[in-house]
Amino acid sequence: MSKRKNKSKKRHQGNANKGGGPNKGKAPRSGPPKKGKPPRHRGQKSVTAEVTCTGLTHEGKGIAQWKNEKLEVPHLLPGERAEVIISQKGKFTDVELKHVIEASKERVDPPCPYYYECGGCQLQHMSNATQADFKQQAINELMKPFAKPAPIFTMEHPYDYRNKSHTTYGMNHKRQVVGGLYEQNSHDIIDMDQCLIHDPKADDIANTIKEYMRKTKMQPYNEDTGHGFLRHVLIKVGKVSGEIMVVLVAASSEFKGKNNFVKTMRKGHPEITTMLLNVNKRDTSVVLGDQEKVLFGKGTITDTLCGLEFEISAKSFYQINPVQTEKLYGKAIEMAELSGKETVIDAYCGIGTIGLVASKKAGNVIGVELNKDAVKDAIRNSKRNGVTNARFYQGDAGKFMVDMAARGEKADVVIMDPPRSGSDEAFLSSVVKLKPEKVVYVSCNPETQARDLEYLTKNGYKVEGIQPVDMFPQTYHVETVAKLVRG
């Protein structure tokens, strides 16, 4: 543990000092924006103005008044005075920070040299304490009608946490292969060697693939012409097990030079335990296609979470920050107050993680999930852990609950963890009909959670506690878990 910490610290310092290290694509920019930076929107009407920041949006952008307009300025902090570039983009006003005139005490140098271009992180210019404060305030405000949220669970080392990474490959204007993340609001690839919130092992593998492509005929896919082979690489790392899955997402199932590629990767990275080819022929921003072929290994990885082993496939959802997930699940199970007799519904269960952790303290668990692969994983996972009191079903959680309510079935506790769009009325109204004593609502989008809490509190439930968890440090996203009781 301490070894890894030292390594990652070095990674960050290296970036801040060298301004990016070897970078063959776009020149990275480190530190806050400097004076004289050229406007991004050439040919568009743009003006430069001086503004003062008065607050933050929920996405962490600075709010500033300019003439009669309320501007949202990325990377600006409350109290700061700055020069900004304002451009009209059709109906939208695009604002870019040009130069901070008076900086806030809360401002820090973002350790990532790509920070201002990338957009994957939005809060690296804030200190850790300021990030925590920003997230806490946002949740307190949103949850005001329901209950006072507890202090947010922060992360001790808020970098290197992602166990899943996506790298996109392409060609720059010099016809050299580049690989990295997309630039903010665009499909231009920033050629990067590391992303400071990824697991460093994943970045090393993605870099080896880039080097391999530069030396061989393996071509990146071109979205405009439809030519080429490799679109993305998805890497999943078992943080505890050390197992690693590499998924090549290609535009065609015809993989020329496959044996040589697999041999090179296994030799250079013996830590890779399985490799797959996923074929995505569609013109889409969805990363994975339907067709999947195992190139070597068993096609899945295993990891340990909350003392249980989980098998994870390429397509199924698995929480991306396991350190914080253990805190989140711990709180969710505590909120469920299980005595060993209850029937617990784990809705939107993914690969069964929450339900299987809860099964140790419950009478029985019923899991429901839309994704077929995830349900298969959940069933395999219950067997792997010797759990005999959990059943998993594939289907829409709303419809499943409507059917359960229609059959007059009962549940004592509903644990729900819907996607960002939140739940729907079919689901929520069935919860009300099933009358569980408790509902534990885990959410990665507090805005839709607040909407759903409003429904439940208007229909017989009371919010008894809200716990924010920082699962996504450096970004504006926050996870929350709320406890509701009936009556």
Which is nearer to ligand SAH, 343 or 371 (by Cβ)? Answer: 371
Residue 436 Cβ, how far from ligand SAH at the closest point, in Å? 17
Q: From the list 349, 375, 431, 469, which residue makes contact with ligand SAH (rule: CB under 6 A)? A: 349
Q: Mask: binding to ligand SAH, 412-451, rule CB under 6 A, as x and -?
A: -----xxx--------------------------------
Query: Is 409 annotated for ligand binding?
Result: no
Q: Of 301 and 397, which CB lies nearer to ligand SAH in the complex structure?
A: 397
Residue 397 in the binding site for ligand SAH (CB under 6 A): yes
Among 371, 449, 474, 475, indicate the residue that binds ligand SAH (CB under 6 A). Answer: 371
Q: Give the C-alpha distances (Å, rounded to integers) separating 379 from 363, 365, 390.
A: 18, 12, 9
- Tell me: is residue 369 an annotated ligand-binding position: yes
Bridge partner residues of 65 (DSSP): 70
Instruction: Mark 163-202 with x for binding to ligand SAH (rule: CB under 6 A) and - for no binding.
Output: ----------------------------------------
DSSP 257-290: THHHHHHHHHHH-TTEEEEEEEE--SSSS-S--S
441 is in an annotated binding site: no
The Cα-based distances of 449 to 119, 143, 155, 204, 420 in angstroms read: 25, 9, 23, 37, 9
Residue from the set 82, 190, 195, 354 that interacts with ligand SAH by CB under 6 A: 354
Q: Does the protein bind ligand SAH through residue 396 (CB under 6 A)?
A: yes
Which residues share a beta bridge with 304? 309
Q: Residue from 76, 177, 230, 374 that binds ligand SAH (CB under 6 A)? A: 374
Q: What share of the chain is helix, strand, coil (3-state, %, to 5)?
A: 25, 30, 45
Q: Least Å distance between CB 481 and ligand SAH?
A: 11
Q: Give the binding range for ligand SAH (CB under 6 A) out of 193-201, 211-219, 336-344, 365-373.
A: 365-373
User: By CB under 6 A, what part of segment 92-111 binds ligand SAH?
Assistant: none
Instruction: State in angstroms the smallest separation of the CB of 455 from ligand SAH.
Output: 16
Residues 399-418 that bind ligand SAH (CB under 6 A): 417-418
User: Do residues 359 and 389 make contact, with C-beta atoms less than 8 angstroms apart?
Assistant: yes
Q: Could you say which of 112, 195, 349, 444 is catalytic?
A: 444
From the list 249, 153, 246, 151, the residue with the least C-alpha distance to 201 is 246
Sites for ligand SAH among residues 293-322 (CB under 6 A): 317-319
Q: Under the criterion CB under 6 A, does residue 370 sit at the interface with ligand SAH?
A: yes
Residues 49, 84 contacting (CB under 8 angstroms): yes
Short-list 76, 184, 84, 82, CA closest to 130: 76
Strand-pair partners of 416:
347, 441
- Mark whether 195 is an active-site residue: no
- As a whole number of angstroms, the distance between CA 475 and CA 468 comes to 14
Closest CA to 132 of 106, 161, 104: 106
Residue nearer to ligand SAH on the CB measure, 353 or 430: 353
Is 141 marked within a binding site? no
Task: Tell me the backbone φ, ψ of residue 204, rounded to 5 degrees.
Answer: -60, -45
Residue 151 gets which letter from DSSP? P
Buried b (16+ CB within 10 A) or exposed e, 359-374: bbbbeebbbbbbbebb
> How far apart (Å, rounded) are the C-alpha atoms in residues 225 and 288?
20
* Known binding-site residue numbers for S-adenosyl-L-methionine: 319, 348, 369, 417
Q: Give the residue ranges of the annotated binding site.
A: 319, 348, 369, 417
Provide the annotated active-site residues: 444
**Interface residues toward ligand SAH, by CB under 6 A:** 317-319, 348-350, 353-354, 368-371, 374, 396-397, 417-419
